[in-house]
Amino acid sequence: MTIDYLALGEVLDPDEYVICVYRVKSDLDIRTAGSRIAEEESTGTWTHPTTLSDDIFRRYGAKVVEADGDLVTIGYPLVDFSGDIGGIPQILSIVAGNLFGLSSLKGVRLEDISLPRDLVERYPGPRFGIQGLRDVLKRPEMPLVGTIVKPKIGLPPKEFAEYVYEAGSGGLTNSKDDETLVDQDFCPLEERVSRVSEVLDLLEEEEHLMIHAHNITTSAHEILEAADLALENGARQLMVDVLTVGFSGLQALAEDPSVDVPLHVHRAMHGALTRDPEHGISMPVIAVLSRMAGGDALHVGTYGAGKMHGENELLSRDKLVEDMHGLKPVMPVSSGGLHPGVVHQLMEKSGNDVQIQAGGGVAGHPDGIRAGARAMIQAVEAAYSGISAEEYAVDHLELRRALEMWM
Ligand code: CAP
Ligand code: MG
């Protein structure tokens, strides 16, 4: 039998294959380039192994079923993916492994992935998801509105908690640690959580229901201990930077029955993978894996309204909310350079199932944190009611002051 990874036109059973779409830049013909990927990531290597029997190839060989323009679609047999030991790391070692380094390819980008039910069901998926977050916050329809405590680092626990109290008093539903703050000497995790928990209780007594996501990004073997510490001190939500912690770190939290709070998933470092249109891994793929691993809310970008390079927000959002073998939909988070003046523009794209976050857009308000929070809430109310921010600002001072400052 000739070993040929090309199976153009073959219709693969989605229950039996992990199906990936790659964008390829190469001097090779696109079919050959696709075959090189399928070969390297399944049963082949640079030369034909004498030990590669027809039977092994037939059972475990990947298939190039489409090759058109600069896109190839490759199916990897479900049997190639490991059972109990292996997890998302082993999935990535196949679909996003050596292929990125093949010298015959000038660039290759994993654009999309679909996984069979049997594989997805091995993972926890979101415990809360969109509806769970809405239930916790008693906010059935409107966007969640949050802040990131700024400066990113440096505030001691007392001042940190005061920021959260002011933000909650201004009506925000969420606040969070920034992605670089974990357990530094100037703001130890244990004390920060304890103080924030106190102000969240106070806010609740004052009819302001709010949760704060504490960043426990740390080594995989310490992450459950970090979660225990935060939960013992009253944490109502946890956060990890999924790409630095790893999908497995997130999964460990989602699978642990004692971690019964929503998991906020930041995507720091994603730009190293997602930014180059000709090489890397797309944000929709990161979204699929983060959902499988159990994130309840995931940063997807600001649909062009913010400061960060973005693309595929709508695709990433769809991956978070579309049917995926019964996994709960995940709350898309928009963050980065947002302020009351751009909320309308954002919500036109995001819709209402979004967690809108502003760090500088709250902390930079001329009249302080509480006014910054109110301005964000007012901007969301305006957009939700279909009123322009400018019109709404006529009789909402905090919003007016924000627009004067940033528009
Ligand atoms: C936003 C932020 C967010 C990033 C996340 C920051 O602060 O806290 O981490 O924007 O970006 O550190 O920059 P600002 P993304 O509101 O002050 O910009 O969601 O694209 O991963
Ligand atoms: Mg940040």
Could you say which ligand is closest to the alpha carbon of residue 372? 1
Active-site annotation holds for 270:
no
Atom of ligand 1 nearest to the CA of 180: 12
Topology given in CATH for the domain delimited by 129-406: TIM Barrel (3.20.20)
Atom of ligand 1 nearest to the CA of 300: 19
Q: What is the mean pLDDT of residues 119-147?
A: 98
List 208, 212, 264, 266, catalytic entry: 266
Q: What is the 3-state secondary structure (H, E, C) of the chain?
A: CCCCCECCCCCCCCCCEEEEEEEEECCCCHHHHHHHHHHHCCCCCCCCCCCCCHHHHHHHCCEEEEEECCEEEEEEEHHHCCCCCCHHHHHHHHHCCHHHHCCCCCEEEEEEEECCHHHHCCCCCCCCHHHHHHHHHCCCCCCEEEEECCCCCCCCHHHHHHHHHHHHHCCCCEEECCCCCCCCCCCCHHHHHHHHHHHHHHHHHCCCCCEEEEECCCCHHHHHHHHHHHHHCCCCEEEEEHHHHCHHHHHHHHHCCCCCCCEEEECCCCHHHHCCCCCEECHHHHHHHHHHHCCCEEECCCCCCCCCCCCCHHHHHHHHHCCCCCCCCCEEEEECCCCHHHHHHHHHHHCCCCEEEECHHHHCCCCCHHHHHHHHHHHHHHHHHCCCHHHHHCCCHHHHHHHHHHC
Of the listed ranges 84-88, 189-193, 221-225, the least confidently predicted one is 84-88
How many angstroms is it from 82 CA to the middle of ligand 2?
A: 35
The pLDDT tens digits for 241-259 are: 999 999 999 999 999 999 9
Position 93 confidence tier, pLDDT thresholds 50, 70, 90: very high
How many angstroms is it from 267 CA to the middle of ligand 2?
A: 10
Report which DSSP code applies to 264. Answer: E
How many angstroms is it from 239 CA to the middle of ligand 2?
A: 12
17-120 under CATH 3.40.50.1100, yes or no: no
Domain chopping of the chain, boundaries: 17-120, 129-406
In this structure, the number of other CB atoms found within 10 A of the CB of residue 329 comes to: 19
Active-site annotation holds for 344:
no
Q: What is the mean pLDDT of the chain?
A: 97
Q: Whose CA is nearest to atom 12 of ligand 1?
A: 178
Atom of ligand 1 nearest to the CA of 307: 18
How many angstroms is it from 362 CA to the middle of ligand 1?
A: 12
Give the predicted TM-score (pTM) of the model. 0.97
pLDDT of 305 > 90? The answer is: no
Q: What is the mean pLDDT of residues 138-162?
A: 98
- Lining residues, ligand 1, CB within 6 Å: 148, 150, 152, 178-179, 267, 299, 301, 307-308, 335-338, 358-361
**Residue partners of 32: CB distance under 8 A and separation at least 6:** none
pLDDT of 283 > 90? The answer is: yes
What's the confidence (pLDDT) of residue 1? 63
C-alpha distances in Å from residue 249, one per residue of 171, 215, 294? 32, 13, 10
Atom of ligand 1 nearest to the CA of 301: 20
Q: Whose CA is nearest to atom 2 of ligand 1?
A: 336
